[in-house]
Chain A
Amino acid sequence: MKTTKLFRNSKTILGKCIRMVGAITLSLSALSAQANQLSAIQERGELVVAVPQDFPPFGSVGKDLQPVGYDVDMAAFLAESMDLKLKLVPVTSANRIPYLQTGKVDLVISSMGKNAEREKVVDFSRAYAPFFLGVFGESQATVKSPADLAGKVVGVTRGSVEDLELTKVAPSSVTIQRFEDNNTTISAYLSGQVEFIATGNLVAAKIAERQSNRDLVSKFMIKNSPCYIGMRKSEPELLSKVNTLVAQGIQSGKLDELSIKWFKATLPEELK
């Protein structure tokens, strides 16, 4: 009698187990049936995008506490082109990939650069935003490559990545003036103490915002690390859709418009 009860008990547990396994298998098969994330998104009617909230001009909190920035406008452009509602999820650079992996977001548009580690877990679209270190100078200056800098004076912030890269590529006749920090480097340029500066395009955008008698445009890149849109691996339909839209945006001049709005400069040729 006792044995039977025990047996019956274990049978129930066993049954539960079997049912659970069945359920998991079922949901798994349901998932695989809907492996195409693009159609899942379209069915839902809403595009969920991870955007930065602490990294202007890519993404920051605007005056009405809504996220604003290049990445936010980019997300809006994609959603609009796909005829979807847009849901923004603010992320940090540390949690943006986990958000993507756990399915909390469809796309990561969060000033994300490409590297080998990330490529293992994320598929990247084509580049959608410029992020580079370059040599900048007045628009009338005719400099297109490191060799053209010969005999010129270039300011740079000492010990920065741009300092190391510039030192590598600049001819020996270039006078590299190294300053303590970014602001001193900027002052040296604005006061005319140096003809060119090597810096990032975001810093250059900030300078261009200031009212100054010297304009600042990009002359050439010394290190290019553009931003890519990230999505879950093995979603070829979604990837090709996003790539097509980015290409359309570049062709139609929409991205140029966004670039001028947020970075105060047109997209660099390398991106097009």
Chain B
Amino acid sequence: MAYNFQFSGLLPYLQNLVDGLVTTVVITLITTVLGCLLGTLCAAARAGQSSFKSKVVGVYVELIRNTPFIVQLFFIFFGLPALGLRLSAWEAGTLAMVINLGAYSTEIIRAGIEATPKGQIEAAKVLGLTRFQTFVRVVLPPAIQKIYPALTSQCIIVMLGSAVLSQISVQELTFAANFIQSRNFLSFEVYFVVAGVYLLLSIGMRQLFNGIHYLVFPNLRAQR
């Protein structure tokens, strides 16, 4: 079983791969920032005192975590136009990813929040901090610290999941690969290259998250 690799056949399509890579990176950055923000807000609502907000968030989280991503994506892209909301493929794809990451990160961050000892919150109350101050300064930082590795993994999973956006014609990395192999039929070569690029992206993303961790939590530097 010898396979004759013809990587030179990919050279004319280098620009497609670069464009695809840029799109994947941009979408991932937007998704990571907005998704984690959404997750934090929802986690706060879920852990908060309002049972109505908590229930609404609960429905959202259960709905997203128990349906396939591609179905959510098709729902937004093909379904919403029927209700009068037409998003471009790019917008629909990014929105679907934000909503998806939001739901998963809600549960992850909530776990961190619930792990905060009651005593700390009571101490903050005694010191006269408002509820907002308590959440932002006392509850959230240690919560994020605890769940940081899990959150990192979830963001990487969502980045890898962006490959699905090629189904609705978002021109990201996997789309570029599919496009190229439909033109030159060098499928093994192109997926070989793209798999390598995804691997590098994942490693790079993990390094980036570690760097942010290093900057944001100076108190933990000694441990590393």
Contact = CB atoms under 8 A, between A and B. Distances in A.
A56 to B, nearest CB: 26
A240 interface: no
Contacts of A114: none
Nearest to A192: B81
Nearest to A179: B169
B81 A193 contact: yes
Interface in B63-95: 77-79, 81-82, 86, 89
B224 interface: no
Q: Tell me the interface secondary structure of chain B in the complex.
A: helix
Q: How large is the interface on B (under 10, 10 to 19, 20 to 34, 35 or more residues)?
A: 10 to 19
A188 B78 contact: yes
A180 B163 CA distance: 13
B182 interface: yes
A187 B166 CA distance: 15
B142 to A, nearest CB: 45
A191 interface: yes
B118 interface: no
Interface in A198-228: none
Contacts of B182: 158-159, 163
Contacts of A187: 78
Nearest to B169: A177
A87 interface: no
B192 to A, nearest CB: 19
Interface in B171-190: 175, 178-179, 181-183
A42 B113 CA distance: 92
Given A158-B179, A158-B182, A163-B182, A188 B82 contact: no
B153 interface: no
A193 B167 contact: no
Contacts of A126: none
Contacts of A188: 78, 168-169
A60 B182 CA distance: 31
List 8 A-B pairs, minimum CB-CB distance, nearest first: A159-B182, A177-B169, A191-B81, A191-B78, A192-B81, A187-B78, A158-B182, A180-B167
